[in-house]
Amino acid sequence: MGTSPRVVVIGAGICGVAVAYHLAVVHGVSGVTIVDPRAPLTLTSDKSTECYRNWWPSAAMVTFMNRSLDLLEGLAVRAGFTPSRRGYLYVTSDPVRLEELRETAMRASRFGAGPLRVHPGDAPHDPSAGDPPPGADLFVDGDALRAAFSFLAPDLVGGVHVRRAGWLPARRYGTWMFEEVLATGGRFVRDEVVEVRAPDRIRGVVLAGGHTLPADVVVAAPGPMLGRVGSLVGVDLPVHTEPHCKVAFRDRLGVIPRWAPMCISVDGRRLAWSDEERAGLAELGRDDLLGELPGGCHFRPEGGADSPWILGLWEYGAAPVEPTFPAPVDPLYPEVVLRGLASFVPGLAAYLDRLPEPFVDGGYYTAAPDNLPLVGPTGPEGFVVAGAVSGYGIMASAAVGELVALHVLGGRLPDYAAAFLPDRFDDPAYVASLDDLGDTGQI
């Protein structure tokens, strides 16, 4: 095939664009063609919270994400944006969960996520200071936590503040890469791939508009349609899709300081509905909201120092479904999220009597059963997958793009490559080991 195969990338989401960038711009592959019936980055990749972290429960994911963030920091300089380094703050009101957070923190630190400082004890921690240290700050009592984050609830007993974490302008980053691809001779074809020609190996793709594009390599980065595109080459990819939403609202009372990190409550909780509200929810058939809801309710400030915006997320009812667009939104989502947030940021309860006007959107997490990405060759020769990036596709995209380019061009693969090969699910022992799956890092 030589070093310049004819490459078609299915999908102009952040993964497809990053793959095209690494092939066309970094490695100089000519004529890389991205095909998508939608405008670039408009299906899932513009719905995200745009956050990143190097905090993961496995060595492969920590190494992979550290690599992705190294690449992203370099791209940010060239594209002219500065990622925030506010961090992720995981908090709990349960001493048992605090112990779990401590164990997770020690494990992530061992895997290469950086040193762990403990408070009270180690040098004081100023979360609002620029240029944060690497690693994480573990708060082993509530007073130390509130000394740093005074807006948090008095019943919290501790938490961990991950410092190589924050957020970035995802659409700007993706658009910049897309334009670089076009500037180096790449092409964008606005159409849908309906057939992949692979009688013996990849020969090309057929588009809904009737044209055929010849290809030696097809990279499948179709986001929530990964299962469908896999079936075009007879490959049964083990992926599911879950709807996930986010709500934006104005914090007009300034409850959340603008320097706040992304804050995540790891505690499951029952919401404090009044008797009247409980009766109303039961009447609506919403008993699901009356019991204990899962952990993972989170928020972050959005915009600069003068912006009043907060983004809130909580997947209290996510279950796998076939994707339809636009993604379904629970009409009660804004209120449920605000109630969840108010349970660990009491100042936000001021909004419960009269909810601020909410703006809700959402998309899908496309995930494999182990919540690890699917990146690498499978099926006919020349077919390569780049997806199943769940709730971390923005932060992972740079390393996904690099890894796909190495698979396509035959470069030396990093150690984490094996953990992400789609064919890992052909190994019954691996599949059986998933029964013991613990923390997968999903929020």
Can residue 49 be called a binding residue for ligand FAD (CB under 6 A)? yes
Structure tokens at 200: 């013996």
H helix and E strand count, the chain: 10, 20
Can residue 392 be called a binding residue for ligand FAD (CB under 6 A)? yes
Are the C-beta atoms of 144 and 119 separated by less than 8 Å? yes
Can residue 224 be called a binding residue for ligand FAD (CB under 6 A)? yes
User: What is the distance between the alpha carbons of residues 73 and 80, in angstroms, rounded to a whole number?
Assistant: 10
Site map for ligand FAD, 186-215, x if CB under 6 A?
------xx----------------------
User: What is the distance between the alpha carbons of residues 62 and 107, in angstroms, rounded to a whole number?
Assistant: 10
Residue closer to ligand FAD by CB (options 38, 252) is 38
Write down the least CB distance from residue 413 to ligand FAD, Å.
21
Write down the least CB distance from residue 100 to ligand FAD, Å.
22
Strands laid side by side in the 383-387 sheet: 187-189, 33-35, 7-10, 217-220, 383-387, 374-377
Stretch that binds ligand FAD, among 75-83, 108-116, 219-227, 272-280 (CB under 6 A): 219-227
Strand 88-92 to strand 158-162: parallel, antiparallel, or no bridges (unpaired)? antiparallel
One residue of 158, 363, 373, 441 binding ligand FAD per CB under 6 A: 363
Can residue 72 be called a binding residue for ligand FAD (CB under 6 A)? no
Measured CA distances, 72 to 27, 48, 75, 228 (Å): 17, 17, 5, 30
Stretch that binds ligand FAD, among 47-55, 57-65, 331-339, 412-420 (CB under 6 A): 47-55
Amino acid type, 20: A
Can residue 48 be called a binding residue for ligand FAD (CB under 6 A)? yes
- Total binding residues for ligand FAD by CB under 6 A? 39
Strand 383-387 to strand 374-377: parallel, antiparallel, or no bridges (unpaired)? antiparallel
User: What is the distance between the alpha carbons of residues 162 and 113, in angstroms, rounded to a whole number?
Assistant: 9
Stretch that binds ligand FAD, among 23-31, 61-69, 387-395, 406-414 (CB under 6 A): 387-395
Residue closer to ligand FAD by CB (options 221, 345) is 221
Are the C-beta atoms of 178 and 40 separated by less than 8 Å? yes
Interface residues for ligand FAD in 3-42 (CB under 6 A)? 10-16, 35-38
Residues that bind ligand FAD (CB under 6 A): 10-16, 35-38, 43-45, 47-51, 192-193, 221-225, 229, 244-246, 362-363, 387, 389, 391-395
